[in-house]
Amino acid sequence: MPDTITLNSLMPCLWFDDQAEEAAAFYTRVFPNSQVGKIVRKLDGSGEALTVTFTLDGRDFVALNGGPHFQFNEAVSFQVLCDNQEQLDYYWQRLGEGGDEAARQCGWLKDRYGLSWQIVPVVLPELVSDADPARAERAMNAMMQMKKLDIAALQAAAEGA
């Protein structure tokens, strides 16, 4: 059995048609403490990127220009856990720019590249798993009615207000 892997030895690879470099630049502008790393260019003389490594707030990713064979779907998404409404609003707006408006519900959105994101407050798991089943149900029902999550409204719903 191999030794335990480190966090950065497990790297998600995101398959794009031909937008890997553009997407890496976009995501690194959205998240703090982020940067584009090594770009490996295709050897066909086109100058296009084949792979782009990038870091989002300390997490490493690789983007691949693999062609149109595969598309993102909701089976895989990334969660952005937000401490407050200001953070939640920021990520919802920035990641949602140019994305699929119809794919927005319950804190989920689809960005301009088709990648799914869950923009959720850190208090949500507490609210929907409250020891009082009625509080948890009210919070869950409120969340199910929202597109972008509203922390104050979720807390008010849990309280029965």
Please say whether the beta carbons of 70 and 18 come within 8 A: no
Q: b or e along 19-46 (b: 16 or more beta carbons within 10 Å of the residue's beta carbon)?
A: bbbbbbebbbebbeebebeebeeeeeee
Average pLDDT of each block of 10 consecutive residues along the chain (161 residues)? 63 96 98 97 94 96 96 94 98 97 93 97 96 97 97 97 82
Q: What is the pLDDT, as a whole number, of residue 3?
A: 65
Domains and CATH numbers, the chain: 1-70 (3.10.180.10), 72-161 (3.10.180.10)
The model's pTM is 0.90
Q: What is the pLDDT, as a whole number, of residue 18?
A: 96
pLDDT per residue as tens digits for the range 13-26: 999 999 999 999 99
For the chain, the straight-line distance linking the first and the last C-alpha, in angstroms and rounded, comes to 54
Give the integer Cα–Cα distance in Å for 37 and 156. 44
pLDDT per residue as tens digits for the range 54-82: 999 999 999 999 999 999 999 999 999 99
Q: What is the pLDDT, as a whole number, of residue 161?
A: 82
Q: Alpha helix locations (H) across the chain?
A: 20-30, 85-96, 124-128, 133-144, 151-159
AA identity, residue 12? P
Give the position of tokens 């982020």.
34
- Helices then strands (H, E): number in the chain? 5, 8
Q: Say if strands 116-121 and 108-110 run parallel, antiparallel, or are unpaired.
A: antiparallel
Q: What is the pLDDT, as a whole number, of residue 4?
A: 63
Q: What is the pLDDT, as a whole number, of residue 8?
A: 55
